[in-house]
Chain A
Amino acid sequence: MTHATVLYDAPGPRARTRSRIISVVGVIAVAALLGWVVWRLAQPQVAVNGNVTPSMLSASRWDVLAYGEVWRYIGSGVWNTLRAAAVAMVGALLVGVLFAFGRLADTALIRIPTTVLLEFFRGMPVLLMMLFILLVASTGAFWAVVIALIIYNGAIVGEALRAGIVSLNKGQREAGLSIGLTPVRTRLMIEFPQAFVQMLPILIAQMVVLLKDTSLGYIVAYPELAKTVKDMANYYGNGYMFTFWLVAVVIYLAINLAVSWFGRRMARFAAARGGKADAGPGATDPGGAGPTAAAAGGAAAVAAAGGAAGGAAGGAAGGGSENS
């Protein structure tokens, strides 16, 4: 691990010894912490009134996972989550393209309203949008979740695509127009594909965010994974709350890490094909702040930040590219 960083030189023998010592101490400390947590969970609880509840690790809390119907419920929750996410992802990409069109329109008549609308959609919580659609359009929970996710993430995808198009080499559009393509076809055939590849890491990160945001369906009573888990805990008893929660977390982690990994592969594949899929670090998007690239001139910031040591590819790749 001798990669150059801004902060320190390549470590010499003494620094290496010191870092080894710190490493050992750190590992022991983390192991102790984890051990304490497990031990704490394994203690039976004695409430103030003398009621003893069994420990979190006792068999009585886990036997429920042997029931076939429990897994059927969990399966239906996962299916609902994935279904909503899949529909919303496709929709968000399409709506994003439309938004990007509107933002880049030649007439101010289209451009300005689109910009205002985008700001509005990006500035309010998805949850509020879900409630709005649920109450105003009375679509039912599934479509409320999906449409809100489409509008919100579409706005962010649109911003990312716009930033990608703006950062394209000058002359791409002119070249398209000069060989006789109409403006719309130039956008669709020349500019969008390039912007898409360039912004792929950010788009993938946004898709993971969308996946996580489907869990907001819990609050508007859409029976996705989190809601299913809560309902099951109510049905089988609160004693199983921890068990079900853990199962849900493991499932979510598996899905999201798989999507992130797949996204990294895609970005690398696209980069190998000649695209510049180097989004650099900083495209962090905690549950939807528009990625940095969505801010005005974000592409420039991304370009400036890219290529640094250990630049993580967008928000999707945490440390995957540290040692590549």
Chain B
Amino acid sequence: MDVLIANADDVFAGFLMTLRLLLFGGLGAMVIGLIVATMRISPVASLRAFATVYTELVRNIPLTLLLFFMVFVLPLIATSKPPYEVLASIGLAIYTSPFVAEALRSGINGVPVGQAEAARSIGLAFGQTLTLIVLPQALRMVVPPLINVFIALTKNTSVAGGFFVVELFATARQLTNANGQAVIPILIGVACFYLLITIPLGLIAGQIEKKVRVLR
């Protein structure tokens, strides 16, 4: 325990880096995911096909290999080299984007077709149908799976620790290397930092899910 307290600022810096990866990776994943989801539910067959191929491809590549590409391969191809933190954030964003897209799509498709048909039959235009009927229902269904995606992203930020980004996992590794006698408290302490993010998120997701179920 005293090892953690003695190195509190290191651990805290690692925690901040984890939060930053979560924030930037999450924002990037939301942007890409929104675009892909829009393509997947569009009436245009070819856009749907592109989005499907993208989803299937990215989803089946391990995150380790994506970060490997960002950190080792890309600098060989590109001329300039951004800091590792940026590279890792981009990698995390790309990796997480298909899951965001799937969550969004399942939410929209989870709205019964009858709802939209009813809206059209009382003369609402496409925009009104979307903003008044479909999206409000879809958003409620989307939030829990989206939160689950971000919980996973939180845990996945640890992989960046293996690619020169000094976040929580990398900090834990350094500390255990330096203090072989206090391995267990260090690792449990660091795990608690992760739980600090993931468990509240999980509880929120559960709560929202309960609320949505009452709706229907």
Contact = CB atoms under 8 A, between A and B. Distances in A.
A4 B132 CA distance: 20
A6 B109 contact: yes
Given A26-B44, A208-B60, A226-B64, A284 B52 contact: no
Contacts, number: 262
A135 B182 CA distance: 11
A249 B149 contact: no
A179 to B, nearest CB: 33
A292 interface: yes
A50 B116 CA distance: 62
B169 A282 contact: no
B183 A281 contact: no
B15 interface: no
A289 B151 contact: yes
A124 B195 contact: yes
B47 to A, nearest CB: 6
Contacts of B210: 296-297
A101 B163 CA distance: 39
Contacts of A285: 99, 148, 152
Nearest to A256: B60
Nearest to A244: B73
Interface string B174-200: 001000000110010011001100110
B7 interface: no
A41 B77 contact: yes
B134 to A, nearest CB: 5
Interface stretch (A7-15, A107-115, A168-176, A185-193): A7-15
Contact of B155 (A126, A226, A319): A126
B60 A257 contact: yes
Contacts of B169: 125, 127-128, 131
A82 interface: no
Given A23-B45, A284-B102, A284-B145, A241 B161 contact: no
A233 interface: yes
B11 interface: no
A181 interface: no
A310 B61 CA distance: 24
B56 A319 contact: yes
B176 to A, nearest CB: 6
A35 interface: no
A247 to B, nearest CB: 11
The B contact surface, by secondary structure, is helix
A265 interface: no
Interface string A273-290: 000000011101111111
B6 interface: no
A311 to B, nearest CB: 7
Nearest to A291: B148
A87 interface: no
Contacts of B159: 125, 127, 216, 219
B148 A295 contact: yes
A96 B106 CA distance: 27
A213 B62 contact: yes
Given A127-B158, A218-B162, A289-B149, A19 B65 contact: no
Contacts of A124: 155, 191, 194-195, 198
Nearest to A43: B77
A192 to B, nearest CB: 24
Contact of A318 (B55, B61, B205, B206): B55
B96 interface: yes
B73 A241 contact: yes
Contact of B202 (A123, A127, A213, A256): A123
Task: Please name the 8 residue pairs, one residue from A and one from B, whose CB atoms are nearest each other, closest first.
Answer: A289-B152, A281-B106, A219-B162, A23-B46, A125-B158, A215-B62, A256-B60, A215-B64
Given A123-B198, A245-B69, A281-B105, 18 more contacts: A7-B43, A19-B43, A24-B46, A26-B46, A27-B46, A120-B195, A226-B62, A281-B102, A284-B102, A284-B106, A285-B148, A286-B59, A286-B98, A288-B152, A295-B205, A296-B206, A308-B110, A309-B109
Interface of A: 1, 4-9, 11, 15, 19, 22-24, 26-27, 30, 40-41, 45, 53, 56, 119-120, 122-128, 131-132, 135-136, 208, 212-216, 218-219, 226, 229-230, 233, 238, 241-242, 245, 248-249, 252-253, 256-257, 260, 280-282, 284-292, 295-298, 300-301, 304-305, 308-312, 315, 318-319, 322
Interface of B: 40-41, 43-48, 50, 52, 55-57, 59-65, 68-69, 72-73, 76-77, 79, 95-96, 98-99, 102-103, 105-113, 115-116, 120, 126, 130, 134, 141, 144-145, 148-153, 155-159, 161-162, 169, 172-173, 176, 183-184, 187, 190-191, 194-195, 198-199, 202, 205-206, 209-210, 212-213, 216
